[in-house]
Structure 1
Amino acid sequence: MKKTVLFNFFLLLGISTAFAQKQDIKELYFDYTQSRMNEDQNAATVEKASSLLSRSAELNDKQVANVSFHLARIYESMGKPEKAEPLYEAVTKLVPGYYVTYTSLGFINLKKCDTLGRKVSEAAKLKDAALHAIAFKAYKIQVLKTIPYFEKSEACETDERTLGILTSLYKSIKDTTSLASLPERKALLGKDCVSLLDDE
């Protein structure tokens, strides 16, 4: 009985996937836009969005960006940042000015900073200079990767929390010079900000 149920499940899944591949791309995109408006249909949205991305050549760049962003948001809400991150990165390349994506990437990477930061603290407690140097190097690399995301976000929408994060990150790697020149970079980064991710 159990084998029969599993067989039927995979059969239906296969049929559903095959249908999505053959379905008219405009109809599939419309179905996706409808399902993503309802959080109760996240599973269906993931399936439709994944099918759309597998046929990205049939979509325009804005549609690919839209699908990638919303799929990333769902993955993030499911506690799967490792799946969300590359999708967010894809959006930054397609719509460089859409700063909401940078905010999301900033927080995903900030968690990595926190994890590596704890290793730096642990090495310091052990008074192990060699281990501390290795841990701090890894931490600094991650911090330098994280900062640009928050700088873009802050440039497009000034926020005390974001500014506080940037200040803390710069001070943690003892780079007060870059912190002091932040206003200049914000002026440049804020020139192409996009607040809405349309698909037309």
Structure 2
Amino acid sequence: MMNKLRLLLLTGILFSFCRASAQSADEVYNQYLDFNLARLQGETDKALSLGEDLLPNADKLKANARASFYYSIGHLYENNAQSVKAIEYYEKVVAAVPEYYVAQRGLGYLYAKQAEELRVSGSANYTAMARKALPHLEKAQACDPDNDTLDLIKFMYTHIHDTAALSTLNSRLKQLSKSCVDLLDDK
């Protein structure tokens, strides 16, 4: 009888603990709103802290809000010189919303930076990293033409000696420009 009472008491305590630690979707969304408010008010450190607290529960956000959150925290990480973390979250956004060229641009430039470091150091891995950056840069260029991005794309193709890709660049950009998302809807 005493063992059953202890088991029942222990089960009740565990259930209470699990319930207290589990956050509802509404609570997570409220955290997301607090994160956005801090970010929009320029409180970068606070926004990063709130965002990092939100990360373990981000899967409870609706898909659109989750993509917007991942982009925003990725952008904060990028601006805070944490490119590895920025890449991780930009990749999630691009996987969820491939037409969102703003995340494509961020990802492309971060990969291009890594490629340039490899090129300068004479690493044989430059070509692979350049090829990783180029599709993202092309999507960004197709949706929001920019001379600097176009010059970077051409520079990279020239340095990896891919004249075939360079000669078909305009047709690819035209095709890619048919489907562009410039704002994420978080509703």
- Please confirm whether the aligned pair reaches a TM-score higher than 0.5, indicating the same fold: yes
- The letter of the residue matching 2:33 is F
Question: CA separation in 2, counterparts of 1:51 and 1:99?
Answer: 27
Secondary structure, in 3 states, of the residue corresponding to 1:55?
helix
Question: CA separation in 1, counterparts of 2:47 and 2:53?
Answer: 10
Would you say the 8 A contact 1:109–1:142 is kept in 2? yes
Counterpart for residue 184 of structure 2: 197
Would you say the 8 A contact 2:101–2:139 is kept in 1? yes
Counterpart for residue 110 of structure 1: 112
* TM-score (norm: length of structure 2): 0.82
Counterpart for residue 171 of structure 2: 184
Give CA-to-partner distance per residue, 1:101-122, whole Å, 9 cap, x none: 11111111111111111122xx
Q: Does 1:173 align with 2:160?
A: yes
Question: Of 68, 78, 82, which residue of structure 2 is paired with 1:76?
Answer: 78
Shift of 1:187: 2.0
Question: CA separation in 1, counterparts of 2:113 and 2:22?
Answer: 36
Counterpart for residue 150 of structure 1: 137
Question: CA separation in 1, counterparts of 2:155 and 2:185?
Answer: 34
Change (3 A) 1:110 1:20: farther
- The letter of the residue matching 1:140 is T
Give CA-to-partner distance per residue, 1:11-70, whole Å, 9 cap, x none: xxxxxxx9995782232222122111122x222212222333311232111111111111
5+ long unaligned stretches in structure 1: 1-17, 121-134
Question: CA separation in 1, counterparts of 2:97 and 2:175?
Answer: 17
Question: CA separation in 1, counterparts of 2:21 and 2:36?
Answer: 18
Q: Does 1:163 align with 2:165?
A: no
Matches within 5 A, 1:26-175: 26-39=29-42, 41-120=43-122, 135-136=123-124, 138-175=125-162
Percent identity (aligned)? 31
Q: Which has the larger radius of gyration?
A: 2
- The letter of the residue matching 1:38 is Q
- The letter of the residue matching 1:164 is D
Secondary structure, in 3 states, of the residue corresponding to 1:97?
coil
CA RMSD after TM alignment: 2.0
How many pairs does the alignment contain? 167
- The letter of the residue matching 1:94 is A
5+ long unaligned stretches in structure 2: 1-19
Change (3 A) 1:70 1:19: farther
* TM-score (norm: length of structure 1): 0.77
